[in-house]
């Protein structure tokens, strides 16, 4: 029986091992390339922020603030929180650094770890990663649609199929109060059938009941009044513009009148993007499995709430671990990064010194080069060169080190040639071009 290691990953957190890093890099490269095209600039905010930023920005009634935040108190008595999401921190940075004075709108993207204390399950961790987009300083529907389009393009670029956008409008402070009254009136007569959390939500923020995943609550929600039937004129006009633009660019969307998202700052447009597939259940029945990959919406009041001048905004985020899990599950392949084409083999102390210098020359010439300086056996080094599938192996033994030469071996034909050491880089450039 294998002995359990004394130290292990904290519950709900995970190591990202070298074999997984290429997936993370592929997703990040795809996200960054597309975001760059649309004029987004990278912003990085601290992993720790003041606790009040999230209680005020994300919302006291949200599950994130009530149940999921990692809070700590510093020696100086400050209350800080490991960021559970990006938007409040980026909004704080926008206000703090006077970005209202920049040409509007400003477009940001972020990538990094976030932290939420919740039950660990497939694709859901306590430390996880997101790619985030924010546009601050623009109130038109076209920005909402552009953000949706960018996320959709990223997922398509990563070869994920059967994508569907779910979209809704949750109004603003003009039309939402009346709708909340209708909602409370509807749920009050059915309160005993709701889950414990939803009974609490009914008192604090009835909209959050619509977001419950409990089956018994979903049955009740399915008959509840729909907010899109009670939008004010401005919100109705905005949402109509969003849907028309989605039709124009032919993105596949589905209107979900009960989609609200779990954050208090959202106004007007909210959306989620799913990947769907048909699977067979244990009793051989066809079922639809949905994977939520991305979500976001508009948050027109947050900048002012956090102390800035009035500025409308919209944004969203992709869940990196969920995307990678789906890519692996569906066996999505992508080209491996280019490996070394040259391998340096050496025998003896003097040869190691010469090889070390030669390796640096290859680096400056931007020629990817493999080596195994820790091995003394030529046979073992050549086995490593074979595994790397290099085109050429350069061998420096004691004789070559003394004479200032290097032996070039063509790994395909087995042909060998000795040249001057100081000509090695130039010769390799010429051969690799062919």
Question: Residues forming the annotated binding site?
Answer: 85-87, 116, 130, 134, 261, 265-266
Binding positions for L-histidine are 85-87, 116, 130, 134, 261, 265-266
Q: For residue 260, what are the contacts with CB-CB under 8 A and spacing of at least 6? A: 168, 170, 207, 208, 210, 211, 266, 270
Distance of alpha carbon 157 from alpha carbon 418, whole angstroms: 46
Cα–chain center distance at 338: 24
> Can you tell me whether residue 220 is helix, strand or coil?
helix
Q: What is the 3-state secondary structure (H, E, C) of 310-354?
A: CCCEEEEEEEHHHHHHHHHHCCCCCCCCCCCCEEEEECCHHHHHH
Cα–chain center distance at 178: 36
Contact (Cβ atoms closer than 8 angstroms) between residue 384 and residue 393? no
Q: If you compute the radius of gyration of the chain from its CA atoms, what whole number of angstroms results?
A: 28
Element (H, E) at 393: strand 392-396
Distance of alpha carbon 124 from alpha carbon 25, whole angstroms: 19
């Amino acid at each position: 029986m294998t002995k359990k290691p004394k130290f292990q990953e904290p519950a709900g957190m995970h190591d990202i091992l070298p074999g997984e890093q290429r997936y993370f890099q592929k997703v990040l490269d795809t996200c960054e390339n597309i975001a760059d095209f649309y004029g987004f600039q990278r912003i990085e905010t601290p992993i720790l922020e003041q606790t009040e930023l999230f209680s005020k920005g994300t919302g006291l009634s949200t599950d994130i603030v009530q149940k999921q935040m990692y809070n700590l108190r510093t020696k100086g008595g400050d209350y800080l929180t490991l960021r559970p999401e990006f938007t409040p921190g980026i909004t704080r940075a926008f206000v703090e650094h006077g970005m209202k004075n920049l040409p509007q709108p400003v477009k940001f993207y972020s990538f990094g770890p976030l932290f939420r204390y919740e039950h660990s399950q497939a694709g859901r961790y306590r430390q996880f990663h997101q790619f985030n987009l924010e546009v601050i300083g623009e109130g038109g529907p076209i920005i909402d649609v552009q953000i949706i389009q960018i996320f959709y393009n990223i997922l398509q670029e990563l070869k994920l199929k059967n994508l569907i956008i779910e979209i809704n409008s949750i109004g603003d402070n003009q039309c939402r109060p009346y709708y909340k009254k209708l909602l409370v009136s509807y749920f009050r007569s059915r309160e005993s059938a709701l889950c414990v959390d939803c009974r609490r939500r009914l008192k604090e923020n009835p909209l959050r009941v619509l977001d419950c995943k409990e089956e018994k609550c979903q049955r009740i929600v399915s008959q509840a009044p729909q907010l899109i039937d009670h939008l004010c004129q401005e919100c109705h006009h905005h949402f109509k513009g969003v849907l028309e633009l989605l039709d124009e660019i032919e993105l596949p969307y589905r209107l979900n009148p009960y989609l609200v998202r779990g954050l208090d700052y959202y106004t007007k447009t909210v959306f989620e993007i799913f990947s769907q597939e048909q699977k067979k259940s244990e009793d051989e029945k066809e079922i639809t499995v949905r994977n939520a990959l991305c979500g976001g919406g508009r948050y027109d009041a947050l900048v002012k709430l956090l102390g800035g001048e009035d500025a409308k905004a919209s944004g969203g985020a992709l869940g990196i671990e969920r995307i990678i899990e789906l890519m692996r599950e569906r066996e999505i392949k992508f080209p491996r990064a280019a490996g070394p084409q040259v391998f340096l083999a050496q025998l003896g102390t003097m040869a190691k010194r010469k090889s070390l210098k030669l390796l640096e020359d290859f680096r400056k010439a931007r020629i990817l080069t493999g080596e195994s300086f820790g091995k003394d056996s030529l046979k073992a080094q050549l086995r490593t060169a074979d595994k790397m599938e290099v085109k050429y192996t350069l061998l420096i033994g004691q004789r070559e080190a003394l004479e200032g030469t290097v032996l070039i071996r063509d790994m395909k034909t087995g042909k060998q040639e000795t040249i001057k050491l100081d000509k090695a880089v130039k010769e390799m450039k010429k051969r690799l071009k062919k």
